[in-house]
Structure 1
Amino acid sequence: MTHRIVPADPFEIRVSDGEIEDLKRRLQRTRFPNEPQGNEHWDYGTSLPYMEKLVETWRDDFNWREAEAKLNRFPQYRASLTDEDGEDHEIHFIYEKGTGANTVPLILTHGWPSTFREFLDVVDPLAHPEKYGRQGPAFDVVVPSLIGYGFSSIPRIPIGPAAIADLWHRLMTQVLGYDKYAAQAGDWGSFVTSRLALRHSESLLAIHLTMLPLRPHLKHPGQPPVSEEEGRWIKEMRDWWRQEEGYRSIQSTKPMALAFALMDSPAGLAGWLADKYYRLGDTDKTTTMDGMIARFPFETILTQLSIYWFTGTINSANTLYKAGPAEGSGALKPGEKVTVPTAYSEYPMDTLPITPRSWAERSYNIARWRVMEKGGHFAAMEEPELFADDVREAFAEML
């Protein structure tokens, strides 16, 4: 290990009573829209009956102080790091040291529309497997909030996953003192983790992903022709995005046009984000209300929403969709590939086709491949036991 260079200050989440009261007042004044006939399965977007119940629960029953206590049950810190353009960033993170002397440092990175809370239920099982009747390895678990999300600072100039990856590397090496570490992620976190593996491969022991964001340079002579299976998958993915990319189109072009509504109305914020949980989660689409609540209990989703609301970070979170493409974070250069051993676990959703392994191997050094039987895009939050076991087993095989 190297010596700690950058200090990290202990941090505790504490929202004022006034902010909580203001939220309740705003929810009380919610003005609901009409709902077109035929929206029982959210074909037009977030369901009105679901939103009425969600807003009512957020206003009358949800206890932020209890949620706050649960968020604070693990040690948290904030560290100040300067990026290559000279901007300072305050990085918020959980840091739970694992059991024993041979722990593996592991950084877990969330995506959108999530927060660090997505990993809250897997921190303890990963750090202390013996408490859950599991064998090691045990991990020193680090869960940062993405820059511009939650309790990390809002950047003056939006930054993309590659720039965040450099900050994560410095967090692990200069703040926490690790020479080598492992990484896990999905969604935007998978972009960050993939860039970590490309830019700092000498420090990455292995990575585990639940999304494969890197696109190979297909015209490079080292790439084989697209197979029939890959061709079908590409077409199915394009068809899916034609139906579902509305949110991405707005956030990647004119996020400020949306920001005023989401910052001013908690119901607006909830309606915008809830649709993505419904679409991307492994929810029962035949019983839409019950299926959504069963997969994402109100306490869980309202904690996520409340973090965005109290920190005022929804716009800075959304702008990652503009900063990421501007940075070219998903595109590989000709001949470029992740060489770090990579485990991939695909969690099923009825809205997305299964990725061909041959496609993944164009961009990653695939060392382990799993298609999970349940769970969706927010795997650590939807199926924490399954997720923690899979991550532990993956790194046990690769390290």
Structure 2
Amino acid sequence: MTHRIVPADPFKIHVPEEELQDLRRRLQRTRFPNEPLGNEHWAYGTSLPYMEQLVGVWRDDFDWRKQEEALNRFPQYRATLTDADGEDHEIHFIYECGSGENPVPLILTHGWPSTYREFLDVVDPLAHPEKYGRQGPAFDIIVPSLIGYGFSSKPRIPIGPAAIADLWHRLMTEVLGYDKYAAQAGDWGSFVTSRLALQHGESLLGIHLTMLPLRPHLKHASQPPVSEEEGRWIKEMQNWWRQEEGYRSIQSTKPMALAFALMDSPAGLAGWLADKYYRLGDTDKTDTTEGMIARFPFDTILTQLSIYWFTGTINSANTLYKAGPAEGSASLKAGEKVTVPTAYSEYPIDTLPLTPRSWAERSYNIVRWRIMKKGGHFAAMEEPALFADDVRDAFREMGL
């Protein structure tokens, strides 16, 4: 079941050589900060020894052209769609048609501080399972760059997940011609995918999430009292966020105050984003530098950082943290719930408490529940084989 791309143009990434040279010059002039004693485990933020290695590799050894070739190995397009407020958005996406006669259309949506590259290693296994000794289903894989991220356009007026969900639905139906499709996501992508299920549930075959962003209206009569387990989890989550929400507080209130530093300094960009990979990735927290490198090899994380740098999208990406809450896209209305069949897989993060299933079932029609043994917030990039098998199994169990 392949579909002709209608209002979209083929796209290939090519960064001009002068931009590569400018990046190297900026990295050569990096001024490193002092590091207070006691930051071996990143208690104050991104560690100096790690950053010295990262910047050195980015400056001297990182081969962007090689990574550019890898990014271009799947067909890519850009389609222009107009939102409800009349603003045009160029949406960049991978489109890899799956094997066999009836592959399942599947849209994969990344989050922050990630890019569409997060899914690059699972596109082929999900589209062509037979090449990896796996049974179907096979999928037509669509991987868009979020609005304001990577090779999609920067919005003039920042938009949130609910508005993006409407654009994603039009991408799948009007541009690609699918009547029904499935969706998978984590982080901000899980907000978008949850809104897809709420706003366009009639077109969703099922969803698979690695984060559960929707919050129930607890005072509605349909909601039972908060259980003891849920109460403990809520307190643990609040304690966790008190330690980790500094970045979110800035980006959700005054993102422009941060933007000038991140746009002007590649080392500044790397330091800001690397902290989140360390916190949210399933890294070895005993040997922190080697643990980070093992979990996120330099070529992998530097490709993510380079996409932000070359496209100049860090500020437009960060402003999603202001646009999302303003839109209220995480809050369910009284009695509202996702009725689309939902599979949830929770990947371990070092300090994040496990979600009670009862809490998830307040907001979602949970049909499959998995607690994974390894992998973190960037599951498709950290454990691509495990992730691809899990997603495929989930949709197979849904009857797709």
Pair 247,132 (structure 1): closer, same or farther in 2 beyond 3 Å:
same
1:333 aligns with 2:333: yes
Contact 1:248 1:321 in 2 (8 A): yes
Contact 1:2 1:177 in 2 (8 A): no
Contact 2:341 2:366 in 1 (8 A): yes
Q: What TM-score do the two structures reach when normalised by structure 2?
A: 0.99
Distance of 1:212 and 1:10 partners within structure 2: 34
Q: How far did residue 3 of structure 1 move?
A: 8.3
**Where does residue 390 of structure 2 map in the other structure?**
390
SS in 2 for 1:338: coil
Q: How far did residue 247 of structure 1 move?
A: 0.0
How does 1:47-66 map onto structure 2 within 5 Å?
47-66=47-66
**Where does residue 166 of structure 2 map in the other structure?**
166
**Where does residue 145 of structure 2 map in the other structure?**
145
**Where does residue 302 of structure 1 map in the other structure?**
302
Q: How far did residue 391 of structure 1 move?
A: 0.1
**Where does residue 104 of structure 2 map in the other structure?**
104
**Where does residue 319 of structure 1 map in the other structure?**
319
Contact 1:338 1:364 in 2 (8 A): yes
Q: How far did residue 6 of structure 1 move?
A: 4.5
Q: How far did residue 5 of structure 1 move?
A: 8.5
Distance of 1:351 and 1:179 partners within structure 2: 41
Contact 1:109 1:193 in 2 (8 A): yes
Q: Deviations over 1:10-54 (max 9, x none)?
A: 000000000000000000000000000000000000000000000
Contact 1:5 1:174 in 2 (8 A): no
Query: Which letter maps to 2:234?
Result: I
Q: How far did residue 373 of structure 1 move?
A: 0.4
**Where does residue 291 of structure 2 map in the other structure?**
291
Contact 2:206 2:398 in 1 (8 A): yes
SS in 2 for 1:45: coil
**Where does residue 215 of structure 1 map in the other structure?**
215
**Where does residue 190 of structure 1 map in the other structure?**
190
Query: Which letter maps to 1:266?
Result: P
SS in 1 for 2:118: helix
Q: How far did residue 4 of structure 1 move?
A: 6.3
**Where does residue 205 of structure 1 map in the other structure?**
205
SS in 2 for 1:339: coil
Q: Which residues of structure 1 form unaligned runs of 5+?
A: none
Distance of 2:71 and 2:233 partners within structure 1: 39
Query: Which letter maps to 2:337?
Result: K
Query: Which letter maps to 2:89?
Result: H
Q: How far did residue 110 of structure 1 move?
A: 0.0
Q: Deviations over 1:235-255 (max 9, x none)?
A: 000000000000000000000
Distance of 1:63 and 1:3 partners within structure 2: 35
Distance of 1:342 and 1:303 partners within structure 2: 31
Q: How far did residue 351 of structure 1 move?
A: 1.4
Contact 2:110 2:118 in 1 (8 A): yes
Query: Which letter maps to 2:203?
Result: S
Query: Which letter maps to 1:45?
Result: G
**Where does residue 76 of structure 2 map in the other structure?**
76
Contact 1:159 1:324 in 2 (8 A): yes
Distance of 2:294 and 2:197 partners within structure 1: 36
**Where does residue 370 of structure 1 map in the other structure?**
370
Query: Which letter maps to 2:355?
Result: T
**Where does residue 344 of structure 2 map in the other structure?**
344
Pair 390,179 (structure 1): closer, same or farther in 2 beyond 3 Å:
same
SS in 2 for 1:73: coil
How many positions carry a matched residue from both structures? Answer: 399
Query: Which letter maps to 1:138?
Result: A
**Where does residue 25 of structure 2 map in the other structure?**
25
Percent identity for Structure 1 against Structure 2: 87
Distance of 1:102 and 1:89 partners within structure 2: 30
Distance of 1:217 and 1:313 partners within structure 2: 34
SS in 2 for 1:374: coil
Contact 2:2 2:97 in 1 (8 A): no
Q: How far did residue 141 of structure 1 move?
A: 0.1
1:359 aligns with 2:359: yes
Query: Which letter maps to 2:122?
Result: V
Q: How far did residue 349 of structure 1 move?
A: 1.0
Contact 1:2 1:178 in 2 (8 A): no
Query: Which letter maps to 2:60?
Result: D
Contact 1:2 1:173 in 2 (8 A): no
Q: Deviations over 1:115-146 (max 9, x none)?
A: 00000000000000000000000000000000
Distance of 1:4 and 1:326 partners within structure 2: 36
Q: What TM-score do the two structures reach when normalised by structure 1?
A: 0.99
**Where does residue 14 of structure 1 map in the other structure?**
14
Structure 1 outlier segments of 4+, above 6 Å? 1-5
How does 1:231-246 map onto structure 2 within 5 Å?
231-246=231-246
Q: How far did residue 350 of structure 1 move?
A: 1.4
Query: Which letter maps to 2:389?
Result: D
Contact 2:346 2:372 in 1 (8 A): yes
